Chain A
Amino acid sequence: MTGTSKRENDRKDFSNSDDNHYVSMCQKGNSNAFQTLVERHQKKMLNIAYRITGDYEEACETVQEAFLSAFKAIKKFRGDAAFSTWLTGITMNHARNRLKKMKSISLHEGISLDNHVETETGQILFDPPAQEEPILAQIEKKELQAKVQECIGTLDNEFKEVIVLRDIQEFSYDEIHDILDIPEGTIKSRLFRAREAMRSCLKHKLGDIT
């Protein structure tokens, strides 16, 4: 099963009305209802945070903070946008702050964030690859994916955010507008420049991307 189809399934399964039911329960003080929301959205939030920070551990920390912030602010959620959109906005904010912190630390300690795409133990839990795929192809694919992630890491934050939300997580322009609170024109313009930067980076890393 590809990542895209999984995302589509997620969207189908977790309708907004369902989320709103649990949100409403949380707003009435039932903290256990929040577990359902965590179970439903943690993976998506973790992927977003991981693509933004480029670090699995940092992504986990980011998502925990984001869920805690969401729980604290759940009474302020009015349902104008979908819960997942609201939660993604919170996760993006935390990821942005964590990235700043990481950059600040890397400046002091001289660590490059560009190569910091995996945990120290390298134990990132990816979707298991299809069994029929040859090992060599799997390795090549993994290397390619690592380089793509490296290139994402080289992007400025504003480009990184739109490319993660639009091309990886496939949010609509309206949703991205709700999450980042920027006009659609700006989203498209940033997306164009982000893709150009990706093309340039991948050409530099791979030689030829076609």
Chain B
Amino acid sequence: MTCKDIEEKLTAYREGVLSPEERRIVESHLASCAKCSSALADLEKIVGLLKNLPEIEPPPWFTQKIMAQVHKEAEKKSGLLKRLFYPFHIKIPIEAFVTLCVIALGLYVYKTSGPEIKTYQIPPAAIREAPVADVPVGKLEDEAKPTAAPKIKPDSAVLGRKAPVLQPSIRTDEQRAPSEAMMEQKAEAPVATGVAPPAPLPSMTKEKDVSTSTDAERKGERAKKVIQFVPRPQKTDVNILPGITVTLSVENIASAYTDIEKVLGQSGITITKKMFKDSVQTVIVNCPEQKFQWLLGRLRTIGEIKHSPEIPEVTDGDLQITILVMPR
């Protein structure tokens, strides 16, 4: 082993990590080689010098200065986090509160208007059948139930809600004038009109016949009437009114109405009902049959009659006329 080989092993020899064999070789060489022995001594000296280098002390302000920088950094971090999440800290409760309000409102709306919404989904056929089944009248009940019952059963819950809407209109028909009943029905059962298929308007003559017929006939008629009334047709309430309807198209509804009142006042025709809805002024009058043509003539001076009514054949001489005054 050369001196260079030995010198390379001196560090390991000094640290005691050589194998016993290598250690013996190094020691034997060192005993006979002054140069390598001197190298080992130098190594010891150098390591000693390095190890004994004095430690320097940090300045007294050192910890504070480092920590000042650390705190600054921590603030910067938290500042960034705050900037990112601070809005959420505020918004989350607000958003939660608003969400709860919306849910509560939704539930309230559902509870209050839910049944009506559901009735819109009822198949028209079921609705048509329903009143027949619900009419609590002798024979009719017996006749209607066998056919209506199987169809009603699946939607019984819905029909249960439907019945109260329809029944008052039936009673009103019995006690009041037909046109009043119509007006009442229009106000009370808008839902039924919205869903049901169109049905022909019951004519004035039929109403009169009903009033003069026997009880049994009247019950039968009423059942028919219910079937006719319940499926309210179109959107405009006024158009569906039964009886003689005169549609008057005018420039100014207010002034036209004043004129109509004057005309009616002159002729002694009495106004039984008047209402204004959806830009349409409705006037219902009881007009003697002989004054009907005269009335039409006067109305033509006020506005344009869009729909010319047919004069019904009446026996008692009084007509119930619905005048619809609408803008051009």
Contacts and interface: CB of A to CB of B under 8 A. Distances in A.
B53 A192 contact: no
Contact of B70 (A4, A29, A31, A63): A31
B62 A42 contact: yes
Among B45, B50, B52: residue with most chain A CB under 10 A: B50
B33 to A, nearest CB: 16
B215 interface: no
Contacts of A29: 74
Contacts of B53: 3, 51, 145, 148-149, 168
Interface in A90-146: 124-127, 144-145
B51 interface: yes
Contacts, number: 117
Dominant secondary structure of chain A at its interface with chain B: helix
Nearest to A42: B58
Q: Interface residues of A toward B: which range?
A: 35 or more
B46 interface: yes
A3 B56 CA distance: 9
A150 B40 CA distance: 22
Interface string A69-89: 001100000000000000000
Given A4-B51, A34-B70, A126 B57 contact: yes
A31 B58 contact: no
A163 B57 CA distance: 20
A55 to B, nearest CB: 11
21 contacts: A2-B52, A3-B55, A31-B70, A31-B71, A38-B63, A42-B66, A51-B53, A63-B58, A67-B70, A68-B70, A68-B73, A125-B56, A126-B54, A127-B54, A167-B47, A168-B50, A192-B11, A195-B47, A198-B46, A209-B45, A210-B41
Report the 3 A-B pairs with minimum CB-CB distance, sorted nearest first: A125-B57, A31-B74, A167-B50
Interface of A: 2-4, 6-7, 29, 31, 34-35, 38-39, 42-43, 46-47, 50-51, 56, 59-60, 63-64, 67-68, 71-72, 124-127, 144-145, 148-149, 152, 163, 167-168, 170, 188, 191-192, 195, 198-199, 202, 209-210
